[in-house]
Amino acid sequence: MAEQFDLVVVGGGPGGYVAAIRAAQLKMKVALVEREHLGGICLNWGCIPTKALLRASEINHLLHSLDQYGFAADNPRFDFAKVVKRSRQVSGQLSAGVKGLLKKNKVTVFDGHGKLAGPGKLSVTKDSKPVAEIAAKHIILATGARARVIPGIEPDGKLIWSYREALVPDTMPKKLVVIGSGAIGSEFASFFLNMGAEVTLIEAMDRILPVEDAEVSAFVRKSFEKQKMKVLTSAKVQGVRKTGDGVAVVVEVDNKVQEIQADRLISAVGIVGNVENIGIEGTKVKVEKTHIVTDEFGRTGEDGVYAIGDLTGAPWLAHKASHEGIVVVEAIAGNHPHPMDVSNIPGCTYCRPQVASVGLTEARAKEAGHEVRVGRFPFIGNGKAIALGEPEGFVKTVFDAKTGALLGAHMVGPEVTEMIQGYTIARTLETTEAELMHTVFPHPTVSEAMHESVLDAYGRVIHI
């Protein structure tokens, strides 16, 4: 006989485990099914370990820039295996922490693969062997996504890497090609560049970081190239050939074909939802472009079945998944939550320089019919940024000229991934330029550039 729960969550990533904990807080009897690692891809093979690696690359960059701060050190070097080991230890620590949180909140965890087995039912298996039969009125699918594979560029674990292999490399490549310049591709390109590799970044679109504001994309490209990264845009990869201990990438740019030799290749060209083998066949769950279709409260076409996170499409971000999980659980509990507004979900890319944004780009705002006022402030005018030795970058704000509504904010430079939340709160509160201009920002901080950008949009900038 199936064990009965109020809610079952399939997938223990940042969407699934947060949903389970919130449901437990609301006095539901909750089960969570996870087949591999609590914390999901983000904690184990994405957000967290990449940030640990990027921190190491920042330190390596600083060690080779000590003269700028009046220091000197002879032959600074690193142990690449230890750099990678530390990133895995960080992930392990946090995964154990998630296990503890679930236990604290009395969430029953099933170690295995969850699959719908009829209305309100779920089967759990491990290595094809039955583990449990469980039932619940409400089932949340949070099975996440995986790297998209391009035919002919399939990761082999040695010469061609997905993000997963790139996180546990067996060697530090001297020459590296990265295909795809979204957040994942740009972060890995930046990491290996700052660790000393010769990096070529290839993008099919006409600019890198194509979802960002065009000015931000242009600035990051210029910065990457200043750091000696080779950047190819509007580039078509025609083929990849393995050459014993390396790869040869044939790419066409401006109607000219060139071959790039490298030790390793990273493919970072998007993701596909994990919709297979979860039992949705024969149900009313609808799938479009490998992602499950839901309404604003995560409901699918099948009664009692919900979906959240990367499984449901863009933006593919851990914090979006977590908030979605809470919205869905609150709706199940009858608490009438506000639907999530994806335009208020901040995006962050942790390359060097960092990139962060929320809301509409200038181009998208104009396409939507807004008359805009745009403010900009460069970090070269910010005292704290200069003192840090990181004066490159800028803040850009986009306002509706008629209402003063903050339509979007775009930042590139030091610690902008920490600061973007200020603009995210402003958008959530529907703050106008008046409140932002009358907010007092502490001095000296890098965040003062956020204030100055707002002032600039209205002809009141002080320090430029």
Q: Contact at 8 Å (CB) between 24 and 108?
A: no
Q: Contact at 8 Å (CB) between 411 and 393?
A: yes
Rg (CA), the chain: 23
Q: Are strands 264-267 and 256-262 parallel, antiparallel or unpaired?
A: unpaired
Report whether 453 belongs to an annotated binding site: no
Report whether 204 belongs to an annotated binding site: no
Report whether 296 belongs to an annotated binding site: no
Report whether 185 belongs to an annotated binding site: yes
Distance CA 149, CA 135 (A): 35
Report whether 273 belongs to an annotated binding site: no
Token duo for residue 171? 């060697």
Edge-first strand listing for the sheet containing 354-359: 347-349, 354-359, 406-413, 394-400, 372-378
Report whether 263 belongs to an annotated binding site: no
Token duo for residue 436? 């932002």
Report whether 270 belongs to an annotated binding site: yes
State how far the alpha carbon of 405 is from the alpha carbons of 3, 65, 175, 211, 340, in Å: 51, 42, 46, 21, 19
**Residue holding tokens 């807004």?**
370
Helix axis angle, 16-25 to 80-104, nearest 10°: 30
Asked if 64 is an active-site residue, the reply is no
Furthest CA-CA distance within the chain: 72
Report whether 114 belongs to an annotated binding site: yes
Report whether 183 belongs to an annotated binding site: yes
Distance CA 419, CA 356 (A): 8
- Bond prior to 339 in cis (omega within 30° of 0): no
Q: Contact at 8 Å (CB) between 210 and 185?
A: no
Distance CA 188, CA 192 (A): 6
Report whether 120 belongs to an annotated binding site: no
Report whether 95 belongs to an annotated binding site: no
Within 10 Å of residue 229's Cβ, how many Cβ atoms?
A: 23
Length of the chain equals 464
Which residues neighbour 76 within 8 Å (Cβ) at sequence distance 6 or greater?
60, 63, 64, 66
Distance CA 27, CA 162 (A): 40
Report whether 381 belongs to an annotated binding site: no
Distance CA 60, CA 55 (A): 9
Residue 137, CB-side half-sphere exposure with 13 Å CA sphere: 6
Phi, psi of 159 (to 5 degrees): -95, -30
Name the catalytic one among 61, 336, 443, 451.
443
Report whether 459 belongs to an annotated binding site: no
Residues identified as active-site:
443
Positions at the binding site for NAD(+):
180-187, 203, 270
Positions at the binding site:
51, 114, 180-187, 203, 270, 310
Positions at the binding site for FAD:
51, 114, 310
